[in-house]
Amino acid sequence: MTWTNQAHWYDWRQAQNRKPAHYRCPLCGLQLPSMSDHMLLFPEGDHNRRRHAHTNCVLKARSEGRLPSRSEWRKTQRPSAQERPARRLSAKRILYALRPRLRRSRPSDS
């Protein structure tokens, strides 16, 4: 499993390292030069799982469809119950659903 298959969607932003630390790009496997311009990737918006990647690698992966944004990923998903239009119930269906309650609420014929 490649690193990009670990999440459904990604956030990213431009970054520049201000300390002389070395990172390895998860997309190409090569090292990022110290204090170079690069991008931060956040799998499913999780900042604790952030990864540093070459800007060119991110742009290439985006153009290939390997790093979808949240909005792009949501377009491929089935709408949630809250987003689906409410189903209209006929009077007959409403009465059928309420039948057990109506029977319990009637006064007894004793």
Residue 107 lies in a domain: no
Residue 21: is its pLDDT beyond 50?
yes
Residue 96 lies in a domain: no
Look over the chain and give the mean of its residue pLDDT values, rounded to a whole number. 80
- The number of beta carbons lying within 10 Å of the beta carbon of residue 10 is 24
Residue 86 lies in a domain: no
- Domain region containing 21: 3-78
User: What pLDDT, on a 0 to 100 scale, did the predictor assign at position 1?
Assistant: 43
Mean pLDDT, residues 56-83: 85
What amino acid is encoded at 34 in this protein?
S
Residue 36 lies in a domain: yes
Give the torsion sign (CA, 99, 101, 102, 103).
positive
State the total domains in the chain: 1
Mean pLDDT, residues 72-86: 74
Q: How confident is the model at residue 3 (pLDDT cuts 50, 70, 90)?
A: low
CATH of the domain at 64: 3.30.1740
